């Protein structure tokens, strides 16, 4: 949407009045103006009038400034990177705190102890993370592998999902991490795993709720950010919390595996001395 708005301005530029060009120049440099500022504020910043801002908005093909905001919000909600020169106007810590609060409220609606026991008791755990969800899935798999055996990450680099999911059954737990913009396969993936009888857990942002509907458990983690790219802080915090729940639920077996992993590190001399 940011690119589209700038393209619209470029097409109209020669037909704009000098006052409209002052507004258009500001918007072209920073489309967030029409989202974060009222028409009066945009007018004041450009040294024009509200009527001039309204004329430009209509010339760009929008009914009013409200429709521009709705369109920009929809674009941001789809996960499109959206750079703003006004990030400093928003306290990122406040946004992150809100994301974390909402994510842990969603997690609180889950029976966390039961979820941990299901992950501990599964014959196999497969963690799937596509596109920008991959780092979260990778971290979750690494944490679970410290506590229990047979935790897989799918898909393996350069491979497809089919090989990893061909033999799913009721003894499997599949954790799907998906963040906007979601890969087109996600909805089919969740349905396939559920139809195979697997216990499906989905960690996603609110835009993935419909895709996650067939899952046994869904945790919604907002990824809003005032900067260009989504924040993965909330989903990272949630998977860390669930991994800690799994560790607690694993009891003596989990502690024995942690010790065995540490012994393997030492035997292979893999880690630098502290």
For 147, half-sphere exposure in the C-beta direction (CA atoms, 13 angstrom radius) is 23
Q: Is the pLDDT of residue 262 over 80?
A: yes
Residue 245: Cβ within 10 Å count = 20
How far apart, in whole angstroms, are the C-alpha atoms of residue 181 and residue 132?
8
Are 252 and 191 in a shared domain?
yes
Are 61 and 97 in a shared domain?
no
Are 7 and 110 in a shared domain?
no
Point out which residues pair with 154 in neighbouring strands.
128
**What's the average model confidence in pLDDT over 232-251?**
96
CATH number at residue 16: 1.10.10.10
CA distances from 234 to 145, 229, 249 (A): 21, 14, 23
pLDDT in tens, 87-108: 455 567 887 888 899 899 999 9
Q: Is the pLDDT of residue 82 over 80?
A: no
Residue 84 within a domain: no
Residue 274 within a domain: no
Q: Is the pLDDT of residue 219 over 70?
A: yes
Which one, of 267, 271, 224, 254, lies nearest residue 73 by Cα?
A: 224
Are 200 and 261 in a shared domain?
yes
Kindly indicate the confidence band of residue 34, based on its pLDDT and cuts at 50, 70 and 90: confident
In the chain, the percentage of residues whose pLDDT exceeds 90 is 47
* pLDDT attached to residue 80: 55
How far apart, in whole angstroms, are the C-alpha atoms of residue 226 and residue 92?
7
* pLDDT attached to residue 85: 45
Domain containing 55 equals 2-77
CA distances from 237 to 28, 32, 142, 240, 249 (A): 37, 29, 14, 5, 18
Is there a contact between 236 and 208 (Cβ–Cβ < 8 Å)? no
How far apart, in whole angstroms, are the C-alpha atoms of residue 117 and residue 261?
21
Residue 24 within a domain: yes
SS3 212: coil
How far apart, in whole angstroms, are the C-alpha atoms of residue 28 and residue 107?
41
Spatial strand order in the sheet of 151-154: 151-154, 124-129, 172-178, 199-204, 217-220
The number of folded domains in the chain is 2
Q: Is the pLDDT of residue 30 over 80?
A: no
Q: How far is CA 136 from the centre of its chain?
A: 10
Which one, of 174, 80, 64, lies nearest residue 119 by Cα?
A: 174
Are 205 and 246 in a shared domain?
yes
C-alpha angle 12-14-20 in degrees, rounded to nearest 5? 70
* pLDDT attached to residue 147: 95
Are 258 and 198 in a shared domain?
yes
How far apart, in whole angstroms, are the C-alpha atoms of residue 116 and residue 210?
24
Range with the lowest mean pLDDT among 18-22, 124-128, 191-195?
A: 18-22
**What's the average model confidence in pLDDT over 244-253?**
96
Kindly indicate the confidence band of residue 77, based on its pLDDT and cuts at 50, 70 and 90: low
* pLDDT attached to residue 175: 98
Helical H segments across the chain, by residue range: 2-12, 18-29, 33-36, 39-46, 50-59, 65-77, 92-108, 112-121, 134-145, 162-165, 186-195, 233-268
Cβ neighbors of 88 (< 8 A, separation 6 or more) are: none
Tell me which of 77, 102, 120 is where a domain ends: 77
Residue 83 within a domain: no
Residue 13 within a domain: yes
Are 108 and 236 in a shared domain?
yes
pLDDT in tens, 107-164: 999 999 999 999 999 999 999 999 989 999 999 999 999 999 999 999 988 888 988 8
């Amino acid at each position: 949407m940011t690119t589209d708005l700038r393209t619209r301005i470029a097409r109209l530029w020669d037909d704009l009045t000098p006052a409209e060009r002052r507004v258009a120049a500001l918007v072209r440099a920073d489309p967030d103006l029409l989202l974060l500022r009222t028409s009066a504020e945009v007018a004041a910043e450009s040294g024009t009038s509200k009527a001039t801002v309204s004329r430009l908005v209509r010339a760009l093909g929008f009914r009013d400034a409200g429709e521009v905001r709705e369109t920009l919000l929809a674009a941001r909600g789809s996960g499109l990177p959206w750079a703003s020169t006004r990030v400093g106007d928003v306290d990122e810590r406040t946004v992150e705190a809100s994301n974390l609060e909402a994510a842990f409220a969603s997690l609180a609606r889950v029976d966390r102890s039961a979820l941990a026991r299901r992950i501990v008791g599964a014959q196999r755990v497969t963690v799937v993370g596509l596109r920008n969800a991959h780092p979260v899935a990778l971290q979750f798999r690494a944490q679970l592998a410290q506590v229990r055996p047979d935790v897989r990450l799918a898909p393996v680099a350069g491979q497809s999902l089919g090989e990893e999911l061909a033999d799913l059954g009721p003894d499997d737990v599949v954790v799907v991490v998906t963040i906007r913009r979601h890969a087109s396969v996600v909805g089919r993936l969740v349905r396939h795993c559920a139809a195979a009888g697997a216990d499906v857990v989905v960690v996603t942002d609110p835009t993935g709720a419909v895709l996650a509907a067939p899952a046994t458990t869904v945790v919604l983690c907002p990824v809003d950010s005032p900067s260009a790219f989504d924040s993965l802080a909330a989903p990272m915090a949630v998977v860390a919390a669930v991994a800690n729940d799994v560790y607690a639920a694993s009891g003596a077996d989990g502690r024995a595996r942690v010790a065995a992993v540490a012994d393997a590190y030492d035997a292979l001399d893999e880690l630098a001395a502290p």
